[in-house]
Amino acid sequence: MAKYTPMIEQYLNVKEQAKDAFLFFRLGDFYEMFFDDAILASKELEITLTGREGGGTEKIPMCGVPYHSAEGYIQRLIEKGYKVAICEQMEDASVTKGMVRREIVRVVTPGTIMDGKVVHDKSNNYMVCVTEAGGLMSLSACDLSTGELYVTSVPWSEEWLRDEIGLYEPSEIIGDAALLEIISSQSLPGSRNIVYTAWDRREDALVRTQFGEPAWARLEEERRACVSLLISYLSETQKRSLGQLTQIASYEPGQYMVLDPFTRRNLELVETVRERSKKGSLLWLLDRTETSMGARLLRRRIDKPLLSRSRIEERLEAVEHLYNQYILREDLRMALKEIYDLERLVGRIAFGSANGRDLNALKLSLRQIPSLKELCAQSPSETLRRVAADTDICDDLCELIEDAIVDEPPVSVRDGGIIKPGYHERLDEFREASTSGKRWIAELEAKERAATGIKSLKIGYNKVFGYFIEVTKSNLSSLPEGRYERKQTLANAERYVTPELKEKEGLILEAQEKMVDLEYALFTELRDKLNTQVSRLQKLAERIAEIDVYQSLAAVSAEYRFVKPELSDGYDYIVEGGRHPVVESVMKDSAFIANGTDLRKDGSSILLITGPNMAGKSTYMRQVALLSILAQLGCFVPAERAVIPLVDRIFTRIGAADDLIGGQSTFMVEMADIQVMTEKATPRSLIIIDELGRGTSTSEGMAIAQAVIEYVHDHIGCKALVSTHFHELAHLQESLGGLKNYSMAVQESGDKVHFLRKLIPGAADSSYGIYCARLAGLPGSIIDRAYGLLQGLEQASLAAVASEHGAALQREETASASLAAEGTDGAVMAREQREDAFPYTPRDLSHGERKGGVVQLSIFGEDEVPDPRTAKVGKDGHAMAPEAVQTPAIRGIIDAVKGADVMNMTPLQAMQFLNDLKIQAKDI
């Protein structure tokens, strides 16, 4: 015997098919949820939880939403990362005996939703499928709302998987369970809620019919498997035609520059690190697109800069012409402005959810195409002319809509009022019948008023009672007996019908019903016709997006005086007057200081950049990476001149994102990143490491930093920018032929430090850390104390140096005495060598002068603070930090002093530290 009522039994059977989703179970005008679904949904949607008798011993938890407002509730659940299965009544309840049949008609998931907040205008909503076979990993990505479908594969690589998924930022991932496990355990920076579903069912036959045999034949087996799994999931959940998926874009990852998620984030390509907002990102700066598909394409191009010089040059050629032709750019912009989101409109047409307004939006968009095409065809740009030649204006489709749909159709497609008069003869006849019927009723009203003498008599209509004659109670006595049949009583009026009104009502309603049905049929016929043309419209949308991206990049390049980069297949990266595009754009009065970059195979492939905090090191290093990305995506670059070699990958190791990575220390993250870098970087890569070696003890950090730099120099040979607080690493310039020291210039004036933001050759030797702490507003007492401690530490260090010097002199004298005894002039030689290596006299040292920091400032007059924009810093303007004393013991002391974390020492620890130094100095 069944435990529950038949209805609940039916519910439970259907629920079996949608265990991982909320089941919206249609009961009349409501979607109801039961059991645990109801308990959870009532919380998530803040709706009332009730109970219902269902045959069991206890009431069954239940909640529901009206069917006409279900859309909003479904979207809310999807935004929260749930799936929703919609179960409809498949039979008309009024004519069915017993239980109506109910079936799931669609499962809405985060990756398959077509509307709502999850689906942003200017970004894609991808779902990704991952598979593994024979040591190869495959990934397919699909945006059902735009009809894009990509697939690719590589030999097993977890990093690759992470990077590729990072590019798509999917809302849902399906596929191989083991791979899902790996992906969900990897922490992607800032990734949103992703819904995972293990899935292993293929639908080869469906893929072959959907995309055609030639497309199937072109795909490698592992990619077929991946697409097949994805299509099987889509067809299983959507349960309808996937007409918007018309082509499979199969690509090789090697076609694009590799940008891992951390690099994309560190460089703030599409959103900022802190606020995670588009504002302030590279995308934000470059996005002057007028259409949503243009905006999405721009984002895809930023995510995937090219590696093919000829393809980049094609893009640059279009940008160059538009850069120089303001009027053409404006004309294009005006035409693009009027174009709606064709990809999504087409998606809705294929999905069967497009309404009259959507078709009109398509029509209005298509009207712009001839002039857009003409503008491109007439332009001097070969790329634009090619785009024009490849543009099918789809005027036949525009006409179809134009002929059929009224200018302002209603939202609903079921209530009529969509189709134009003259489109369909039968429909016109029904319309005539209905309007003449209504005219007859208006005449009847006048007739009845005259016959009864009741001026306020009126004829009305409502859905329940149909047409009626309404007479106020005060006039009832004027009504003749017999002819009027009472239908409804209101507070101060009575409603009646007459036989002739009833008859006419039948005719009018019948005509109206037929009219509405016919309109719907005609509308769907038109929509289906358009559905067969989806791939033409999608191609058109691609062309429009491309034109839009070119005009956007040209507009930004022209506004900020970017220049066309010279692309090179060689190694050298040479930029004059380079600027950080985003930082510059938010600064007023051209306050940004331009800096050149010279990275060459011979002699300067690694720049080791030192300089105080706040000097502009990070900005500069990001600028170098961004210029490469801009050039390779086909945009002009912010510089006076730029020769940009094609970079296959950019690695960045910049601290800012560390806090978001759960469970791992900053240091471990840094080391893991460096490990990937050592494994994957090629001579064509660009490496950017900010503050290498921080996060562990000074000496170990410095040792690791040196070893990493040496490895990059000797084994990878790629271009690299490394910033560090370890000024001591400057000596690497002597042993590594490809490394050059640079620093960010500063000027001291009184007790102020002026950041000149100018990159100059040579190393810096002071961090101005305490100064920056003061700028940050730390209490004066802390600042004073820090300076006090620093002075103590420095004096201790200098004393140790002096003592070492004394000991060295003594050793030297002993040595020269013994050499003299041997009768050579070695004593003089030894002395000369020593003095070369040690430029300070003991008098300098006894005065305790700080020789650090100000060395590079000697190029400016004592009191004069130069304008950083005009300040000339010559190549020789900066002296290197004195390599004071070369003996390891003394270097050890200096290192300990420089690396001392004074800010975090208690006075007692500081004293202890000084004492330790003293003991060490005594031993020398």
Q: Which residues are annotated as a binding site for ATP?
A: 611-618
Residue number with CB closer to ligand ATP (111 or 616): 616
Which residues form the interface with ligand ATP (CB under 6 A)? 583, 591-593, 595, 611, 613-619, 757
Short-list 121, 230, 212, CA closest to 174: 230
Residue number with CB closer to ligand ATP (24 or 592): 592
Residue number with CB closer to ligand ATP (315 or 758): 758
Please state the closest distance from residue 286 (CB atom) to ligand ATP, in A. Answer: 19
Please state the closest distance from residue 853 (CB atom) to ligand ATP, in A. Answer: 15
The binding site consists of 611-618
- Determine the Cα–Cα distance for residues 607 and 618; give it in Å rounded to an integer: 13
Short-list 468, 226, 525, 493, CA closest to 349: 525
**Sign of torsion over alpha carbons 803, 804, 807, 812:** negative
Please state the closest distance from residue 724 (CB atom) to ligand ATP, in A. Answer: 10
Residue number with CB closer to ligand ATP (463 or 588): 588
| Amino acid of residue 266 | N
Kindly report the number of other CB atoms within 10 A of residue 558's CB atom: 17
| Amino acid of residue 404 | A
Short-list 467, 469, 465, CA closest to 448: 469
- Determine the Cα–Cα distance for residues 229 and 791; give it in Å rounded to an integer: 68
Residue least distant from ligand ATP (Cβ): 616
Residue number with CB closer to ligand ATP (81 or 577): 577
Residue 611 token pair: 């300089």
Please state the closest distance from residue 687 (CB atom) to ligand ATP, in A. Answer: 17
Looking at residue 306, what DSSP letter applies?
A: B
Please state the closest distance from residue 272 (CB atom) to ligand ATP, in A. Answer: 13
Please state the closest distance from residue 269 (CB atom) to ligand ATP, in A. Answer: 17
Residue number with CB closer to ligand ATP (123 or 613): 613
Residue number with CB closer to ligand ATP (34 or 768): 768
Query: Which CB contacts under 8 angstroms, 24+ apart, belong to 122-127?
Result: 122/287, 122/292, 122/295, 122/296, 122/299, 123/295, 123/296, 123/299, 124/148, 124/168, 124/296, 124/299, 124/300, 125/171, 126/168, 126/169, 126/170, 126/171, 127/170, 127/171, 127/172, 127/173, 127/174, 127/230
Short-list 551, 684, 690, CA closest to 628: 684
Q: Residue 243 in contact with residue 527, Cβ under 8 Å?
A: no
Please state the closest distance from residue 671 (CB atom) to ligand ATP, in A. Answer: 20
Region at 529 (left for phi over 0; alpha for psi -120 to 50; beta for the rest): alpha
Q: Would you call 647 helix, strand, or coil by DSSP?
A: coil
DSSP string, 742-757: EEEEEEEETTEEEEEE
Q: Residue 337 in contact with residue 390, Cβ under 8 Å?
A: no
Please state the closest distance from residue 817 (CB atom) to ligand ATP, in A. Answer: 50
Please state the closest distance from residue 772 (CB atom) to ligand ATP, in A. Answer: 7
Please state the closest distance from residue 579 (CB atom) to ligand ATP, in A. Answer: 7
Residue number with CB closer to ligand ATP (379 or 619): 619
Q: Residue 458 in contact with residue 445, Cβ under 8 Å?
A: yes
Residue given tokens 């596929």 in the structure block: 175
Residue number with CB closer to ligand ATP (372 or 593): 593
Please state the closest distance from residue 904 (CB atom) to ligand ATP, in A. Answer: 17
Residue number with CB closer to ligand ATP (286 or 583): 583
- Determine the Cα–Cα distance for residues 740 and 685; give it in Å rounded to an integer: 18
How far from the centroid of its chain's Cα atoms is residue 247's Cα? 24
- Determine the Cα–Cα distance for residues 247 and 146; give it in Å rounded to an integer: 12
CA distances from 327 to 334, 375, 555, 716 (A): 11, 11, 11, 48
Q: Residue 249 in contact with residue 149, Cβ under 8 Å?
A: yes
Residue number with CB closer to ligand ATP (476 or 591): 591
